[in-house]
Amino acid sequence: MTPAARLQATLDLLSDVESAQRPADAVTSAFFRARRHFDDSDRGAVLVQLYALLRHRARLGWWLARLARGDTPRNRLLVWMVLAEGKTPDQIKRLFEEAEALTDPEQALLVKLKGCTLVHPAMPEEVRLECPTWALAPLRRRFGEVFGDEMAATLTPPPLDLRVNPIKSTREALVRELKALGLPAEATRLSPYGIRLTERLSLARLPGLKSGEIEIQDEGSQLVALLLDAKPGERVVDFCAGAGGKTLAIAAQMKNKGHVVACDINEARLKRCAERLRSAGIHNAETRVLASETDRWVKRHKGGFDRVLIDAPCSGTGTWRRNPDARWRAPDLGVDGLVALQSRIFASAARLVKPGGRLVYATCSMLCEENEEQVAAFLVAHPAFFVVPLREAAPLWAGDGAYLSLTPLRHETDGFFAAVLQREAVAPALPQDSA
């Protein structure tokens, strides 16, 4: 493809992303499926530019407002090419001559931007840090003095993390295989099943995906699943399983022995989960569609499971570097509504834990309201549960502290929170003589 054709493809894709109600990754997948003639380099160039435009949306929009120009995908791309890529008006004009030529107002915009930089001293903090208004106060409270550094880390492109399926292969074997394909693969720092690729590539180049030997999963998400510490032969519930990324990790950790139930209210996502389980060679798991968090199935299975994972629906602030479009979609329920929903899910799923069993509450959020404060409120209302410190829950890789709290800046993962709780065991009855 010519540079002009790549620019047009970027504009077409950006328009699709902004007009769709779906996440950007789903839109891009559909876009490239319909354009199989794109090679890896074309696909990579379009994706890099698209995600750059999504990551810097606030600053680009601020410049367009300052210059009284419409905030359109085409104008945003022009601002980016001048302020971030350093192209001159003449260079940009030549590129667009091969496609849809620049209009007079567009050429005037380029001239006005000449000599400017992406960040301007007059920009408000939330614009400069690309932080939506609804999340500004909670995130500033969460991070304090390092708020700016943490927000900057959410603007860095993430690596591609893979999780090895130990039922089908080993990390050592797959790292060798990926390196033989010329891919920069390395073992992840914390997860014993993780492989990190620092290069964008077409997923078609990863043969292990089709065979079920590997799954795409951020290292932070892998660590959350490992915190459950599910053992072969146990009974386990993944309460908000979605498409089953953590279910797969849990079932493999159990070596296909025991029983895992993947629950969710979304039947379509659970169908995808079932397909992934079959591909991975998982035989000890089933899916269960729930009508709500208080479905009758929960009451019928009260106290029936050794381990329960709650990967609660949340604001998704921890996924912003991977899903930059998500930061501009405020939660439908608002943060307060999400906290209330999480509380109901927390209380309902906890009923499934048997005495002496463990419960892991997790989110991909970096807000205290959804994490530490949520756990504190649960413990007050449910005194039969207590916190298992990280050092005890995961002695091989976890640090000190009560909870797992990952951020892009400190751990080079997505932002995740997880708390390990245990239900008090029922004291054995004393013999009558002893009593």
The secondary structure of 136-182 as a DSSP string is HHHHHHHHGGGHHHHHHHTTSPP-EEEEE-TTT--HHHHHHHHHHTT
368-383 burial: b if 16+ Cβ within 10 Å, else e: bbbbbebbeebeeebe
Which residue is listed with tokens 């002893």?
Answer: 434
Whether the CB-CB separation of 107 and 93 falls below 8 Å is answered with yes
| Residue 364 falls in the annotated catalytic set | yes
Report the alpha-carbon distance of residue 276 to residue 296 in Å, rounded: 27
Longest dimension (CA), the chain: 98
The CA distance from 58 to 46, in Å, is: 20
The vertex-35 CA angle with 34 and 41, nearest 5°, equals 145
Do 217 and 162 meet the contact criterion of CB atoms below 8 Å apart?
A: yes
The DSSP element (H or E) to which 310 belongs, if any, is strand 305-311
Residue 63 CA: distances (Å) to CA of 59, 113, 340: 6, 9, 38
How many CB atoms are located within 10 Å of the residue 280 CB? Answer: 24
Using a 10 angstrom Cβ sphere, with 0-12 exposed, 13-18 middle and 19 or more buried, the burial of residue 256 is middle
| Residue among 240, 263, 273, 364 flagged as catalytic | 364
3-state secondary structure of 335: helix
Could you tell me which residues are beta bridge partners of residue 287?
262
424 close to 355: Cβ distance less than 8 angstroms? yes
Cβ atoms of 23 and 325 within 8 Å: the answer is: yes
In whole angstroms, what is the distance from residue 256 CA to residue 169 CA? 14
Q: Report the catalytic residues.
A: 364
